[in-house]
């Protein structure tokens, strides 16, 4: 992760800026995107652990909890929700990384969409916005 701060907002900014490019991230725990999601989760593992330590992000489910949760369909949604919560923060960091690649220091109009699939066992998350360079 880069130390250069990138502002992310769901609205516009009052400060003047130059528009650079749309930025887009998608994460899923199914299909061909599953390998990409696992790679990103490993890459951001220390970031995820830091968020968990601060109480911003729920803790990982233990192997025993995964087995128990998967046996009860109504609780499977909780496990998928925890994974999607992690995926949200990973996607946010990836959006910032892509913005830096375009030379930007902010994302305006960030939006995200999620979908829970296959009896609550799989999810899809898409995040997007506009990379901009704030003027001094």
Collapsing DSSP states into helix, strand and coil, what is residue 98?
helix
Token pair, residue 104, equals: 């930007």
Region 4-9: mean pLDDT is 92
User: What is the C-alpha separation between 26 and 37, in angstroms, rounded?
Assistant: 9
CA 73 from centre of chain:
25
Lookup: tokens for 26: 């998608």
Task: Identify the domain containing residue 51 by its residue range.
Answer: 7-134
Domain membership flag for residue 49: yes
Q: What percent of the chain has pLDDT over 90?
A: 40
At 95-132, the pLDDT tens digits run 999 999 999 999 999 999 988 776 666 778 899 999 99
Other beta carbons less than 10 A from residue 28's beta carbon: 20
Q: What is the CATH number of the domain that holds 64?
A: 3.30.110.70
Determine how β-strand 106-117 pairs with β-strand 17-28. Answer: unpaired
From 96, 83, 81, select the one nearest 41 (Cα to Cα). Answer: 83
16 located within any domain: yes
Does residue 1 form part of some domain?
no
Residue 36 pLDDT level (bands cut at 50, 70, 90): low
Q: What's the rounded Cα separation, in Å, for the pair 71 and 63?
A: 13
The pLDDT, as a whole number, for residue 32 is 54
pLDDT on residue 76: 44
- Structural domains of the chain, count: 1
**Cβ neighbours, 10 Å, residue 70:** 13
pLDDT at residue 126, rounded to an integer: 93
């Amino acid at each position: 992760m880069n130390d250069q701060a990138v502002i992310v907002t769901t609205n516009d900014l009052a400060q003047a800026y130059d528009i650079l490019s749309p930025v887009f991230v998608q994460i899923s725990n199914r299909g061909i995107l599953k390998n990409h999601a696992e790679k990103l989760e490993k890459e951001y593992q220390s970031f995820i652990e830091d968020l968990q330590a601060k109480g911003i992000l729920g803790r990982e489910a233990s192997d025993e909890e995964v087995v128990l949760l998967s046996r009860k369909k109504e609780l499977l949604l909780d496990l998928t929700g925890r994974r999607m919560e992690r995926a949200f923060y990973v996607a946010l960091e990836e959006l910032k990384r892509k913005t830096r690649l375009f030379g930007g220091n902010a994302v305006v109009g960030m939006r995200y969409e999620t979908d829970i699939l296959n009896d609550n066992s799989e999810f899809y998350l898409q995040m997007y916005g506009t990379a901009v360079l704030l003027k001094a």
